[in-house]
Structure 1
Amino acid sequence: MPGRLRKSNPLKKPDRPYYALGLEGSANKLGAGIIKHAEDGSSSVLSNVRHTYITPPGEGFLPRDTAQHHREWALKVIKDALKQAGIAMRDIDCICYTKGPGMGAPLVSVALVARTLSLLFNKPLVGVNHCVGHIEMGREITGAQNPVVLYVSGGNTQVIAYSRQCYRIFGETLDIAVGNCLDRFARVINLSNDPSPGYNIEQEAKKGKRLLPLPYSTKGMDLSLSGILTATEAYTTDKRFRIDPTTDELNGEDIITPADLCFSLQETVFAMLVEITERAMAHIGSKEVLIVGGVGCNERLQEMMGVMASERNGQVFATDERFCIDNGIMIAQAGLLSYRMGYTTPLVESTCTQRFRTDEVHVAWRA
């Protein structure tokens, strides 16, 4: 991780309470959260405020418009976070912001806000890897000790395990992320983006009755999702496809519904994710799986992963939408862990990068 790191000893209990403000805005969620690390070593979420940029059905979110949303809402979201936490900016020890990965323009907007606050209140900056933020918040909330991590979101799909102060990537998508795959299909069938297209895909899939054949593409520890998306979209041009079916039969042939397609897409993609996660568990000898990222809220994914883990006498750890979906508190948690190890980001280095790899981070706070 770029920046200054003055020591690399395993993290010890703090000598006093530490407070961090975390700012997240790598995609369409703008979040601000405040976390406290107490003298007894415990952590407390004092606030976790979020506002989402939602577009009309059938439309995605463009970087420029998303960045404008973040600029317009930044002040209110931060004020609300401070108010809920019951503290002032003078009490904050460090300001943490998402350095990457993510969409360029939104990342820059939030970094600009972080730099401004740093200068106004003379507080140190800490640039945070978005993926590591998800992992550390998941570990903190669930209590998972040394899990294989399945990180699934709109822009990332990775299977990760910790080793020697680094989160190693065992496998990942070779093209699009699982969240992107689901979101793009939601646009094809004109599902609402409120609260999120992935959530609405999940609800639609619960009504599905048919498992349609789709490409299953795992390649060692990696997987490919662009082919299955194309194949699912192709069903929408089939003569049997009906957006609003009124009968169960069509000239003697079963009809295909949007619910069937959502169900088939979910089942196939999630089976691929479970397969590569199980391989990683076998490789490192772990019996724990931690699911993080926005897609990690999906109850069907958690259920399928749970079946696999139980067959290995293991356990699945997951969180709800407060911590799975992009949020400021995860940036505050990972940033404060770094800060307590002596890491800060100089103002001249407080940039952003759309391609900030998970395995580029020095995880100094873990033994």
Structure 2
Amino acid sequence: MIAIGFEGSANKIGVGIMEHSDDGKVSVLANPRHTYITPPGQGFLPKDTAAHHRAHVIPLTLEALAEANLTPKDIDVICFTKGPGMGGPLTTVAIAARTLSLLWGVPLVAVNHCVGHIEMGRMITGADNPVVLYVSGGNTQVIAFSEQRYRIFGEAIDIAVGNCLDRFARILGLPNEPFPGWQIEQRAKKGTQLIDLPYTVKGMDVSFSGILSHMESLVRDHDPYLPDAPYTADDLCFSLQETVFAMLVEITERALAHIGATEVLIVGGVGCNERLQGMMGEMATQRGAHLFATDERFCIDNGLMIAQAGLLAHKHGVVTDLTDTWCTQRYRTDEVLVTWR
């Protein structure tokens, strides 16, 4: 079976094509995407992001079909992101998926964005039953599978870790190309001074808004770009990364110990950060566990992850009726009945 997946819950529009053969082989056929980039210091608005997605969804679809050497008649199922995400961009992708479903006569499967990240990570890395740390611009969750659901053990109670990093990059005026978190990661590699920051872990949950406010006050008190400042922009990026990643490793380790797991999988856009992978890997090694992670091709939002999760569901009888292809900005990971595991 061959699935085409459409992802556009935030500032990236992606179209991926995945094939599951009868002998169990899984093949990645195409995975192009395009990112809406704003000027330094600015975020992306839903209406502008939706306009970007409308402009690129058809060219990306044609590019994916050409790369996979397929025609519409070869597609068995169309998968799209139902949520969570930004309303305007989600709607744009859903309309494209519905239109192609009617034109091609192909069934639809609505996919939870978070579950898409998990299934993509499991497929690419070969992780079997890991504790999952899902970290992105809109979500921060520690997840484990139990009784047909991806159960949330802990999460951010205010803003996601990726949102915290992105907003601090804006405060420093860092470029959004290729993405703000990458800019902070490169700056952090040159930082030498670890600044004491708020460390907010509440049971299995974390909070990042207070850290962000404190970082903003540090920049306001002393311009880190001035030569006589007590700390540099590199020091601030280094300190922010070390603090928030330590918080994430702590709650992931607690979940790992609670269920006795031997695998950890990091997914989501922040998951391609090498420092986070390094810190998590050290913790996993100390516990006799194994870390699974991927690079930006699969960590960052892409259409392939939607195709993979949708195809798994479709092979177990899931089809989304056209009247149910609405989108939602709030769609929790544990709402999905995981019929394929």
TM-score, normalized by the shorter chain, greater than 0.5:
yes
**Residue type at the aligned position of 1:185:** F
Aligned runs of 1:183-194 on 2, under 5 Å?
A: 183-194=166-177
1 CA distance for matches of 2:107 and 2:22?
Answer: 21
Pick the aligned partner of 1:167 from 128, 134, 150: 150
Pick the aligned partner of 2:191 from 178, 195, 208: 208
In the other structure, the counterpart of 2:326 is 351
Map Cα deviations across residues 211-257 of structure 1 (whole Å, 9 max, x no partner).
Answer: 10100000000000000011111110224x43153xxxx4xxx7211
**Residue type at the aligned position of 1:19:** I
**Residue type at the aligned position of 2:125:** T
**Residue type at the aligned position of 2:265:** L
In the other structure, the counterpart of 1:9 is none
**Residue type at the aligned position of 1:290:** L
In the other structure, the counterpart of 2:7 is 24
Structure 2: tracts of 5 or more residues without a match: none
In the other structure, the counterpart of 2:206 is 223
Pick the aligned partner of 1:361 from 323, 327, 336: 336
2 CA distance for matches of 1:242 and 1:345?
Answer: 52
In the other structure, the counterpart of 2:76 is 93
Pick the aligned partner of 2:128 from 140, 145, 150: 145
**Residue type at the aligned position of 1:181:** C
2 CA distance for matches of 1:125 and 1:217?
Answer: 42
For the residue of structure 1 that corresponds to 2:221, the secondary structure is coil
In the other structure, the counterpart of 2:24 is 41
In the other structure, the counterpart of 1:12 is none
Aligned runs of 1:333-352 on 2, under 5 Å?
A: 333-352=308-327
2 CA distance for matches of 1:74 and 1:142?
Answer: 28
In the other structure, the counterpart of 1:14 is none
Map Cα deviations across residues 298-349 of structure 1 (whole Å, 9 max, x no partner).
Answer: 0000000001000001111000101000000000000000100010100011
Cα deviation for residue 287 of structure 1 reads 1.4
**Residue type at the aligned position of 1:21:** I
2 CA distance for matches of 1:188 and 1:266?
Answer: 15
For the residue of structure 2 that corresponds to 1:237, the secondary structure is helix
**Residue type at the aligned position of 1:362:** L
2 CA distance for matches of 1:324 and 1:155?
Answer: 14
**Residue type at the aligned position of 1:44:** S
Map Cα deviations across residues 244-289 of structure 1 (whole Å, 9 max, x no partner).
Answer: 53xxxx4xxx721111110000000000000000000001100110
**Residue type at the aligned position of 2:258:** H
Larger gyration radius, structure 1 or structure 2: 1
1:347/1:243 CA distance change after superposition, 3 Å: same
Moved over 2 A (4+): none
**Residue type at the aligned position of 2:290:** Q
2 CA distance for matches of 1:345 and 1:107?
Answer: 16
In the other structure, the counterpart of 1:5 is none
Is 2:53 the counterpart of 1:52?
no
Cα deviation for residue 77 of structure 1 reads 0.5
2 CA distance for matches of 1:280 and 1:125?
Answer: 35
Cα deviation for residue 115 of structure 1 reads 0.3
1 CA distance for matches of 2:41 and 2:316?
Answer: 45
Aligned runs of 1:68-107 on 2, under 5 Å?
A: 68-107=51-90
In the other structure, the counterpart of 2:235 is 260
Same amino acid, percent of matched pairs: 67
Question: Over aligned residue pairs, what C-alpha RMSD do you find?
Answer: 0.7
Cα deviation for residue 110 of structure 1 reads 0.3
Cα deviation for residue 39 of structure 1 reads 1.2
In the other structure, the counterpart of 2:115 is 132
**Residue type at the aligned position of 1:96:** C
Is 2:266 the counterpart of 1:284?
no
Map Cα deviations across residues 135-189 of structure 1 (whole Å, 9 max, x no partner).
Answer: 0000000000110000000000000000011000000000000000000000000
2 CA distance for matches of 1:147 and 1:173?
Answer: 20
In the other structure, the counterpart of 1:11 is none
In the other structure, the counterpart of 1:332 is 307
In the other structure, the counterpart of 1:242 is 224
In the other structure, the counterpart of 1:3 is none
In the other structure, the counterpart of 2:159 is 176
Q: Between Structure 1 and Structure 2, how many residues are aligned?
A: 341
2 CA distance for matches of 1:73 and 1:152?
Answer: 26
**Residue type at the aligned position of 1:33:** G
When normalised by structure 2's length, the TM-score is: 0.99
Structure 1: tracts of 5 or more residues without a match: 1-17
Structure with more helix by fraction: 2
1 CA distance for matches of 2:272 and 2:226?
Answer: 28
1 CA distance for matches of 2:104 and 2:37?
Answer: 32
Cα deviation for residue 355 of structure 1 reads 0.3
1 CA distance for matches of 2:276 and 2:126?
Answer: 20
